[in-house]
Amino acid sequence: MTRESVESLVQKAQQAVTQGQYDQARQSYLQALAIRSDLPNVHYGLATVCYLLNDLTGAAFHFKEVTRLDPLRAGAYINLGAVYNKLDQLDEAIAALRRGIQLDLNRAEGYYNLGLVYRRKGQIDLAIQAYREATRVKPNMPDAHYNLANLYLEKSNHNLSLVHYQHALEHRPNWEKALHGLEQVRQILQENEEPSHQPVESETGNETDEEPTQHILDPDRLVDPNVHGTVLTDLHHAVKDSEQFSREFVELLQGQIEPAIKLLSGCLLQTNQSSLELDQSVQKVEAALAHMSSTEKKLQKTIEKIRLFGDQLLQK
């Protein structure tokens, strides 16, 4: 009997998933890994199937394998964080989610899951920041608006709670839980007759807490683009410049400095070389060194900018 290929086994697994046959899909993925254990996509598919089968330990293992084999895959970190959350490994969940967000700042589900974890840890202000980022990246995310509304209700910021219940219902009409929350907030506002100068969201989506949230200078700190936007932009450009100059520096070493030095060494070792050839070799080395010195100065300036913008970011 001919042994099946990895490709055919993966196709079988994917077809089984579409048919809801998750156990069969898991077997096919495992057979594929028995042939090739270093394929991140196969581990990703198997992790997803394990999650659907409520095998959270298996899901965590295979999502972690994806991050090992493909360390720049943001989705794997975000899914790993979500699984860790369900396994009550909250610190590990935060670390995985923050790495996923770092790799892709536009993954709303990363911020959303981070909000879930912070809420479970009782870190309400950080949960609010995370949910706000989720709604900024994906304004039509009803679950994020709903959870944000609940947290504002806990903080007695009733106007903002009202706004986010309304946003949740805009994107998921007749949602019973959101309708109940909206009615609850309206009743509180009516009973308390809260003045109209209570904090509300502006048309640009900026929000002000009843008690302003302090920026926390620790690894769990989230950056607010509305506060740090200009500095973040400058910092991003400086980092990109430093990456470019670093690459140029390495290319100079490999492409100009080393060949020029080898050429000069050859001229010095061969007694039959003319003085003209020696002068030309020396000039090539000097030109390459001058180019490298110029690039090094540019790199140093960008590093100084990064340090400056970083200090500004921490002070805001």
Give the residue among 142, 137, 186 at the shortest CA–CA distance from 167. 142
What pLDDT does residue 163 have?
94
Q: Quick: pLDDT tens for 205-256.
A: 333 333 333 333 333 344 444 445 565 566 666 676 777 767 776 676 667 7
Which amino acid is located at 72 in the chain? L
Distance CA(84)–CA(96), nearest Å, equals 9
Distance CA(38)–CA(59), nearest Å, equals 16
Instruction: Please list the helix, strand and coil fractions of the chain in percent, rounded to the nearest 5, in that order.
Output: 75, 0, 25
What pLDDT does residue 64 have?
97
Give residue 97's pLDDT band: very low, low, confident or very high (50, 70, 90): very high
Q: What is the mean pLDDT of residues 26-34?
A: 95
Distance CA(303)–CA(238), nearest Å, equals 8
Q: What is the pTM of this model?
A: 0.61
What pLDDT does residue 12 have?
95
- Please determine, for residue 119, whether its predicted confidence score (pLDDT) is greater than 70: yes
- The residue that leads in pLDDT, 297 or 96, is 96
Distance CA(167)–CA(149), nearest Å, equals 9
- Please determine, for residue 107, whether its predicted confidence score (pLDDT) is greater than 80: yes
Distance CA(114)–CA(134), nearest Å, equals 9
Lowest mean pLDDT among 114-123, 154-163, 180-189, 192-201: 192-201
- The residue that leads in pLDDT, 275 or 42, is 42
Lowest mean pLDDT among 57-71, 101-115, 206-220: 206-220
- Please determine, for residue 76, whether its predicted confidence score (pLDDT) is greater than 60: yes
Give the residue among 47, 39, 40, 37 at the shortest CA–CA distance from 17. 47
Residue 183, classified by CB atoms within 10 Å of its CB into exposed (0-12), middle (13-18) or buried (19+), is exposed
- Please determine, for residue 1, whether its predicted confidence score (pLDDT) is greater than 80: no
Q: What is the mean pLDDT of residues 164-190?
A: 95
Q: If you ran DSSP here, which 8-state letter would residue 253 be given?
A: I
Distance CA(187)–CA(73), nearest Å, equals 46
Give Cα separations from 299 to 245, 251, 254 (angstroms). Answer: 6, 14, 17
Which amino acid is located at 304 in the chain? E
Give residue 272's pLDDT band: very low, low, confident or very high (50, 70, 90): low
Which amino acid is located at 112 in the chain? Y
Q: Quick: pLDDT tens for 281-316.
A: 677 767 777 776 777 777 777 777 766 756 655 554
User: What are 235's two structure tokens?
Assistant: 């910092």
Give the residue among 49, 108, 46, 51 at the shortest CA–CA distance from 75. 108
Give Cα separations from 223 to 32, 52, 104, 205 (angstroms). Answer: 42, 34, 14, 16
What pLDDT does residue 118 have?
97
Q: Quick: pLDDT tens for 2-28.
A: 468 999 999 999 999 999 999 999 999
pLDDT exceeding 70 applies to what percent of the chain? Answer: 71
- Please determine, for residue 193, whether its predicted confidence score (pLDDT) is greater than 90: no
In the block, residue with structure tokens 């975000």:
78
User: What are 300's two structure tokens?
Assistant: 């140093």
- Please determine, for residue 131, whether its predicted confidence score (pLDDT) is greater than 50: yes
Q: If you ran DSSP here, which 8-state letter would residue 127 be given?
A: H
User: What are 137's two structure tokens?
Assistant: 């990246």
- The residue that leads in pLDDT, 234 or 40, is 40
What pLDDT does residue 274 have?
62
What pLDDT does residue 311 have?
61
Lowest mean pLDDT among 118-127, 220-229, 262-271: 220-229
Secondary structure of 187-223 in HEC code, one letter for each residue: HHHHHHCCCCCCCCCCCCCCCCCCCCCCCCCCCCCCC
- The residue that leads in pLDDT, 77 or 308, is 77
The pLDDT mean for the chain works out to 81
User: What are 154's two structure tokens?
Assistant: 């806990």
User: What are 301's two structure tokens?
Assistant: 């300036």
Distance CA(181)–CA(184), nearest Å, equals 5
Q: What are phi and psi of 147, to 5 degrees?
A: -65, -40
Residue 112: count other Cβ atoms within 10 Å of its Cβ.
23
